[in-house]
Amino acid sequence: MQQKSHERITLQEKQKEHSFKTYTVKKSSAALGGIEIMKSGQEYIVKNKNLERMVAMTDLENEEALQYLKYKLKKLRIGDRLKKMGISIGSTVIIGELVFELTD
């Protein structure tokens, strides 16, 4: 029994010897790296491996998942970038395997 007690004390002493700090890393749009948008006629192709992976992993049949994807695209200011490039309603946007027409 004394041995177990001794082990506990040793463990507690070791924990006191080390101080730990916890850091929270917040991801930002910078974590995606460069986002490239190319225009070809009325098609706008958005290129970024991480963004394309995000789109590929999204269940486009699930309304909540689709809303979350829209939120992420808005947060990354994809729409603002497309507007600066002169996108118009009816233009096609391509992100990985996702192809959609701009409606508003």
Buried b (16+ CB within 10 A) or exposed e, 55-83: beebeeeeeeeeeebeebbeebebeeebe
Would you list the domain boundaries of the chain?
Answer: 28-101
Ramachandran class of 84: left when φ > 0, alpha when ψ lies in -120 to 50, beta otherwise: alpha
Homologous superfamily (CATH) for 28-101 = GTP-binding protein OBG, C-terminal domain (3.30.300.350)
Strands 92-95 and 43-47: parallel
Structure tokens at 80: 């603002």
pTM, two decimals, is 0.65
Task: Encode pLDDT of 20-46 as tens digits.
Answer: 444 444 444 444 568 889 898 889 999
Task: Encode pLDDT of 83-98 as tens digits.
Answer: 998 899 999 999 999 9
